[in-house]
């Protein structure tokens, strides 16, 4: 079993990745645990050591004003770092939730603007674990997937069984829902809890490129749905979900986590 320090060192590449490219996207303790294959959300102790390591490196290299990375991770319950963040910022727990959100946003922007290269070198980190050759991710016209029999069957099943993908309290449902951008969402739900969902579906035949395309489509759908809400003056939240009959690669899983995208793999529909 890995020690807390070993877990902390495993966290660094992911935290710096988020600071560099996804500082303004919510990431949760469960996301960070998944990134390091740690089967527990109780990661407060390793996160404390992340801060200890930063403090030690700053002292060693005579660096001042080194941002914290710990604000990049938050609780799903209230959307702010948990009470343990008081280890980094004294009297943090005396703040209101709104004050905590403002503090986290400011700290995460500092982390985004900071040059982490010396930390990367000092800890010998590999920040982007993806291959340099991008050929597998080019969207070829003959890429497998698309509107085959399995794709149609999964769409029909998800529309009629929304709880199979964790969606409840349905007020309206629709296949091939049109967006103002010209896109069509595989399955669209409007829920009684003032939440709308776009569900993108990929069959078991989808290759790496098609699944990555599905990840990016989900990001696009949510952005367009948010824009539509503004145009229509709606009072609801939007979310997107990727449902895959096959298995995601580690690279695509990391991309989904980095983007804060919910996904279900190995989906069974009958």
Q: Which residues contact 50 (CB under 8 A, 6 or more apart)?
A: 8, 11, 12, 15, 69, 70
pLDDT of 238: 96
Q: What domains can be seen in the chain, in order of their start residue?
A: 4-123 (no CATH), 135-264 (3.40.1350.10)
Average pLDDT score over residue span 138-157: 72
Q: What pTM does this model have?
A: 0.80
pLDDT of 133: 43
Residue 140 has pLDDT above 60, yes or no: no
pLDDT of 129: 52
pLDDT of 128: 60
Q: Which residues contact 8 (CB under 8 A, 6 or more apart)?
A: 46, 47, 49, 50, 52, 53
pLDDT of 147: 73
Rounded to whole angstroms, the Cα distance separating 182 from 227 reads 13
**Sign for the pseudo-dihedral over CA of 61, 12, 22, 136:** positive
28 phi/psi in degrees, rounded to 5 = -110, 165
pLDDT of 143: 46
């Amino acid at each position: 079993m890995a020690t807390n320090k070993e877990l902390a060192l495993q966290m660094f590449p992911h935290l710096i990745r988020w600071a560099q490219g996804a500082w303004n996207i919510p990431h949760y303790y469960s996301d960070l645990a998944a990134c390091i294959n740690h089967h527990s959300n109780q990661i407060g102790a390793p996160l404390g050591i992340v801060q200890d390591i930063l403090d030690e490196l700053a002292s060693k290299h005579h660096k001042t004003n080194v941002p914290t990375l710990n604000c990049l991770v938050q609780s799903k319950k209230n959307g702010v770092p948990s009470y343990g963040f008081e280890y980094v910022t004294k009297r943090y727990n005396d703040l209101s939730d709104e004050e905590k959100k403002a503090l986290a946003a400011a700290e995460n922007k500092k982390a985004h603007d900071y040059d982490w290269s010396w930390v990367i070198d000092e800890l010998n980190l590999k920040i982007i674990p993806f291959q340099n050759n991008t050929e597998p991710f080019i969207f070829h016209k003959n890429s497998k997937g698309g509107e085959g029999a399995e794709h149609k069957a999964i769409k029909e099943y998800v529309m009629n069984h929304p709880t199979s993908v964790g969606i409840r309290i349905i007020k309206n449902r629709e296949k091939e829902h049109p967006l103002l951008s010209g896109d069509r969402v595989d399955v669209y739900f409007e829920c009684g809890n003032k939440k709308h969902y776009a569900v993108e579906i990929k069959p078991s035949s989808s290759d790496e490129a098609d699944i990555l395309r599905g990840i990016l489509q989900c990001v696009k759908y949510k952005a367009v749905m948010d824009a539509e809400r503004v145009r229509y003056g709606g009072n609801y939240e939007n979310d997107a979900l990727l449902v895959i009959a096959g298995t995601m690669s580690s690279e695509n899983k990391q991309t989904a986590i980095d983007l804060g995208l919910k996904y279900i793999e190995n989906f069974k529909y009958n």
